[in-house]
Amino acid sequence: MSDKAWGGRFEQELDAIAARFSASVDVDGRLWPQDIEGSIAHVRMLADRNILSADDAEQIVTGLGTIRASIERGEFQWDESKEDVHMNIEAALSSAIGDAGGRLHTGRSRNDQVATDMRLWTRQACDSVVADIDALLEVLADKADGHLDFLMPGYTHLQRAQPVRLAHHLLAWAEMLDRDRGRLVDAAKRMNESPLGSAALAGTTFPIDRAATAEALGFDRPMLNSLDAVGSRDFLLEAVSALAICSVHLSRIAEELVLWSSQEFAFMQMSDAFTTGSSIMPQKKNPDMPELVRGKTGRVVGSLVNLMVMLKGLPLAYNRDLQEDKAPVFDAFDTVHDCLAVLSGAIASATFDKGRMADALQSGFLDATEVADWLALRGVPFREAHHVAGKLVQQAVQQGKTLSQLPLESYQAAHEAFDDTVFRALNMEAAIERRDVPGGPARGRVAAAIAELRGRLQTRRGA
C-alpha cells in the first residue's frame, strides 16, 4: 500500500506480474465493513469542520451505504486491478456519485486508513474470540457440575500421581482459558487508539478533528504520534501472541481428550458427531477433531512468527511489507475460533466413565503420599516419612499387592509409629477430602470454584 499517484509522475502502467504480485483485495476484502465505517466517520468530520460541503458529505455517505448494501447482497464486483479494498470501494463510489467521491480521501492516506481498519477489525475479532472462550467455559462449568463425584487419577510425567476429582481437572482447563481471555481483553483495550488523521506519516494540513473521528469509531483517543500510528503493528503481535498461547492451551486440552478416549485410558467416550471412522479398520472411532485442534496450533504459532519476522527490520513509517500482516492475522483468528467451537461441541457431547476412572485409582500407588502424610502428621520428619512410604511401595510391588493389602505388621516393621488407623488414610475419597485448601480438590472447594466460575460468566453476560 503506497501513496504512489495514479498518472502524473508515472508514464508506464504497472507490469502485469507486478500488479498481480501487489494486489491484496483477495485478502483485505474482508475489511470492507471497517473501511466503510471509517470512511463515514471521516467524511462526517470533514463536513463538521467545513472542509467538505454538507451536500458532498451527504452524497458520499449515501453512496457508501449503497455500496455496503451491494456487498452484503453479494452483488459487488471486486476488481483485482484496483489493488485493494480501499481503492475498490473508492472507485465504486466515484463511479456512482461522480466528483464528490474523489473528495472522500481529503485529509487522509491509505496508510492511516488501513491502520484504522485493522484496529477496528482486530478489536472486534478479539471480542468475538472472547465470546467463544466464554462459551467453552460454560461447557466446562456444566460438565464439572455434573461430574462432581467422579474421582480420577491426577498425573505428573503422565504417571498416576494422586487422586483428584474430574471436576477439578476440568476447572484447571477453565483457568487456563480464562487467562487467555484476559490477554485478549487486554490486547483489545491497548489497541483502542485511532490512527485516523495521521495521513501518510506526517499528519495533514487540513484542520481535521481527530478526536471526533476517534470517538465516532469507538476508540478511546487518537494515537499520539503520526509515524507510530501508520507504521506500528505491535497491536497485532499482541493479539496474535494471545491467540498462540490460547492455541497451545487448546492443544493441551485436545491431547488429554485424545488420551482419555483411547482404549488404554477409556476415561471418556466422544460422541459420533465429533469422531470419524477408518477407511480400512471398521472398529475404529478416531478422535480426529481434538487431533486437528492439536495440529492447528502450528498454524497459529506460525502466524505469530510470520508477523514478528515481517516487522523486525522495518524502518518507520509505512512500508509495503505491512500489506502482509492481514493473512496471518485473519488465519490465526479464524483458526482459534474454529478450534474453540469444535472443543466446545466435543466436550459438551462427551460421556465420562466413572467406573473406569475409579478402577484406575486402584493401581499405581496413588495413596503413597497419604502414608507419608500420615507419618508426618505424627511428628515424623517428612523426608523420613517419604522414605518409609517408598519402602512400603517397593514391598507391595514385590508382593504384587496394593498398599491397602499389606498387613499392619508390614507397616509397623517399616516404622513404629504406624497403627491400624493408617488404613483409613488409604481411602481415595478421604484422601481427596483431606486436601480441603483453597484451589484443592475437596468437594466443597470444587463446588465453590464451579459457583465462582458461573458467577464470572453471569457477570460477563450482564455486562
Task: Read off the C-alpha cell for 182.
Answer: 484476559
Say which residues have a Cβ less than 8 Å from residue 168's Cβ, sequence separation at least 6: 144, 440, 441, 446, 449
| C-alpha distance from residue 243 to each of 118, 328, 329, 385 (Å) | 16, 12, 10, 45
**Pure H helices in 312-440:** 326-348, 354-360, 368-376, 382-399, 408-414, 428-434
Residue 168 annotated to the active site: no
Say which residues have a Cβ less than 8 Å from residue 197's Cβ, sequence separation at least 6: 107, 108, 112, 203, 204, 208, 210, 213, 222
Residue 381 zone, left/alpha/beta (φ > 0; ψ -120 to 50; rest): beta
Active-site residue (options: 95, 128, 271, 278): 278
Amino acid at 43: V
Residue 157 annotated to the active site: yes
Residue 379 zone, left/alpha/beta (φ > 0; ψ -120 to 50; rest): left
| C-alpha distance from residue 2 to each of 34, 76, 84, 230 (Å) | 20, 24, 11, 12
Catalytically active residues, by annotation? 157, 278
